[in-house]
Chain A
Amino acid sequence: MIQLKDIEKVYRTDRIETVALADVNLTVGEGEFVSIMGPSGCGKSTLLNLMGLLDEPTRGTIQINGSPIARYADRTLAAMRNKEIGFVFQVFHLVSDLSVLDNVQIPLLYRRMSNGERRKRAEEALDRVGLSARIHHFPSQLSGGQQQRVAIARAIVGRPRILLADEPTGNLDSQMGDEIMAILGTLNREDKTTIVMVTHDQQKAAQTERIVRLFDGRQVN
């Protein structure tokens, strides 16, 4: 499903060169639930961004569903992210001016689809995360846990085969964190969604099938 080969990511400024990732080789199979762990600054989020085609590696190749990604045009990468990948962020990143329903519809705006179909799919996604009663609320009117559930609904509304979650429980208390983990677990089991989750939390990572550990930008076993 996701294959990273000899990945290196270097950030360069005028004076400093920072190696964020080096010699990363990782394959995530279809339907797997993988967590990435490691201390702060070890390159976990960078790795997730590369898998999500939000950033380009300095060296190495990425394959998504067997297609190698090599300097794709903006439009092609955008289309792949839209169809294949859903994102859940630690700080939710909901658009404060839009209602819950409108936030969830965002990925579908970039597909050919009628307004009615778009709304129906968004309502279904919100139903799956238990927020049907809050569709006309605005993000500021929701708790952290509810906002993250909206973010998950937004991530799954386009029915992507891959879900990338960057510390999805990092800003939540343990009970809300457990609720989010339960939703992710259900998506993985029932929909066979491939999930890669960055986390600091050993307990949460233990709920996934496999843990990939990073230290100073390198994989450790």
Chain B
Amino acid sequence: MLTHYLVLAVKVLLRRKFFTFISLFGISFTLLVLTVVAALFDHSFGPGAEEPRQDRTLYAGRAIMYGPHNTWSSNGGFKLFDRYARDLPGVERLALYQNSHTVHSYLDGRKVSSGLKRTDDEYWRILEFEFLEGVPFGTADVAEARFVAVINRATRQRIFDGRNALGQTLEADGQRFRVVGVVEDVSEMRSVPFADIWLPYTTAKTDGYKREIMGDWNAIALARDQAAMAGIHDEFNSRLLRVELPQDGYQAIVAPFETQFAGFARLMPTADHKDPESQVWRMVALLLSLALLFILIPTVNLVNINISRIMERASEIGVRKAFGAPSRTLVGQFLVENILLTIIGGALGFVLSILVLRGLVQSGLFTYAHFTINLRVFAYGMALAVVFGLISGVYPAWRMSRLNPVQALKGGPR
């Protein structure tokens, strides 16, 4: 019976080419947008090669300091994390690093721009980079403020023409550093591991950062296990209540340790920035609402097209009912047709998504990004296509199945 339905479905779709095109366009375009957005999210926040232990890693960066009249929003300062995040119970390792910022150097009259990040040595132990040459800088390098650097493949290519870079020196931020390691490029969208050049934070030109509560620093806490994560979050929040704040009208500071996605959610306008508790649910509600709205429009459209398409086949419905098709079986038949249509639309959407993601990578819009549609996103997309097919097919099929056979044979309801 299924073969019969599928054969008929294909014939109907081929006969009504314009309708098929409109339906497929709606489905594939919707899925294209959702899949590309999902791939971007997955690329930014999913477990990546450099952050394999995300399931037990917490991040703190964004800080809000506020009082009755003032609000200061930026990253936390070195002092905030160095003084208050050390020795948190349940933390296996703690790393501090500065936001990446662009520095320019000149090579044979050429201006070379690079993303520079200053970090401590623990940074290299929590994250797992693929080293093409050498090793990361270590505890002694940081403690003794040695002018050493780790660079990525692209920087080696730009500065050393791709030749072996170990032991070579390069200029960054007006200082000269000796290359001790070369790592594979990391996407700009992965803000924690991304940079072109990594330097020990102790090589900064001044040590003013050591006294700052607010600044451009971040902390990564690797928890002993997942069970310890809530305790780390709570303990740091309670320590923040004791932070000595500047005397100019600030009363509290919020800079919670949370997952990267939760940190991103905190940036959304929907978030309550002064609440140290997770804002993820607001973000998820916003994303789901947007996704639902985005799905709803083509779904309603598809429902309309399906109703007219199915009602056009009223005579066939009448014949099938007359020859013994129960209503439920007919609903099944039209759902099979609709699901087939949405699966074809879904497959088209995926092919288009791959092309669009490839285009995004080639456009250079996102430095070093390599977007891929992984199995998880693919599975979500296909599940979405099927749900899409069910939603847009159930109502028309149900309406059709309620048709009286005599009415159906006469061409449908008047």
Contact = CB atoms under 8 A, between A and B. Distances in A.
Interface of A: 49, 52, 54-55, 74-75, 78-79, 81-83, 86-87, 89, 93, 95, 97-98, 102, 105-107, 109-111, 115, 154, 158
A54 B406 CA distance: 6
Nearest to A56: B404
B320 interface: yes
Interface stretch (B97-105, B147-155, B323-331): B323-331
A107 B324 contact: yes
B340 to A, nearest CB: 14
Given A49-B406, A97-B8, A54 B322 contact: yes
B8 to A, nearest CB: 6
* 5 closest Cβ pairs, A-B complex: A82-B324, A107-B323, A97-B11, A78-B326, A110-B324
Interface in B1-17: 1, 3-4, 7-8, 11-12, 15
Given A74-B327, A75-B326, A75-B328, A95 B4 contact: no
A143 B36 CA distance: 53
Contacts of A75: 326, 328
Contact of A110 (B8, B323, B405, B406): B323
Given A54-B405, A102-B4, A83 B324 contact: yes
15 contacts: A54-B322, A54-B404, A54-B409, A74-B328, A75-B326, A79-B324, A82-B323, A93-B316, A93-B319, A97-B15, A106-B319, A106-B320, A109-B325, A110-B325, A158-B323
A93 B409 contact: yes
Contacts of A82: 323-324
B15 A109 contact: no
Contacts of A109: 1, 4, 325
A106 B3 contact: no
B358 to A, nearest CB: 38
B406 A78 contact: no
A106 B15 contact: no
A79 B321 CA distance: 10
Interface string B192-224: 000000000000000000000000000000000
A74 B322 CA distance: 12
A106 B318 CA distance: 12
B187 interface: no
A52 B322 contact: yes
A98 B3 CA distance: 12
B321 A54 contact: yes
Contact of B319 (A52, A74, A78, A95): A95
B113 interface: no
Given A75-B328, A106-B323, 5 more contacts: A54-B409, A81-B324, A93-B318, A102-B7, A110-B325
Contacts of B3: 115
A105 B329 CA distance: 16
Given A98-B8, A109-B4, A74 B323 contact: no
Contacts of A55: 404-406
Given A74-B327, A109-B4, A97 B322 contact: no
Interface in B326-345: 326-329
Contacts of A74: 326-328
Contacts of B315: 93
Contact of A87 (B4, B7, B11, B322): B322
Nearest to B11: A97
A86 B1 CA distance: 20
A110 B329 contact: yes
A110 B228 CA distance: 59
Contacts of B15: 97
Nearest to A49: B406
A172 B145 CA distance: 101
Nearest to A86: B323
Contacts of B4: 102, 105, 109
Nearest to B324: A82
Interface in B293-307: none
Contact of B323 (A81, A97, A98): A81
Nearest to B402: A74
- For A75, A109, A115, which residue has the most chain B Cβ atoms within 10 angstroms? A109
Contacts of A115: 3
B411 to A, nearest CB: 10
Given A54-B405, A55-B406, A97 B326 contact: no
Nearest to A157: B323
A98 B7 CA distance: 9
A78 B321 contact: yes
A158 B325 CA distance: 13
Contact of A97 (B12, B328, B404, B409): B12
A78 B404 contact: no
A74 B327 CA distance: 7
Contact of B316 (A78, A83, A95, A110): A95
A98 B8 CA distance: 7
B305 to A, nearest CB: 18
A20 to B, nearest CB: 11
Contacts of B329: 110
Contacts of A81: 321-324
A82 B318 CA distance: 13
A24 to B, nearest CB: 17
B323 A89 contact: no
Nearest to B7: A102
Contacts of B7: 102
Given A54-B406, A89-B409, A78 B325 contact: yes
Nearest to B15: A97
Contacts of A49: 406
A43 to B, nearest CB: 13
Contact of A78 (B1, B318, B324, B409): B324
